[in-house]
A and B are shown apart, each in its own frame.
Chain A
Amino acid sequence: SQQGEEDPQALSIQEGENATMNCSYKTSINNLQWYRQNSGRGLVHLILIRSNEREKHSGRLRVTLDTSKKSSSLLITASRAADTASYFCATVSGGYQKVTFGTGTKLQVIP
Chain B
Amino acid sequence: GAVVSQHPSRVICKSGTSVKIECRSLDFQATTMFWYRQFPKKSLMLMATSNEGSKATYEQGVEKDKFLINHASLTLSTLTVTSAHPEDSSFYICSARDPGWGAGGGLFFGSGTQLSVL
Contacts and interface: CB of A to CB of B under 8 A. Distances in A.
A104 B40 CA distance: 12
Contact of A97 (B44, B59, B103): B103
B27 to A, nearest CB: 15
B112 A40 contact: yes
Contacts of A43: 44, 93, 95, 109
A92 B45 contact: no
A101 B104 CA distance: 14
A40 B46 contact: no
Interface residues of B, number: 28
B59 A1 contact: yes
Contact of B112 (A42, A96, A98, A104): A42
Contact of A101 (B43, B91, B97, B111): B43
A77 interface: no
A10 to B, nearest CB: 10
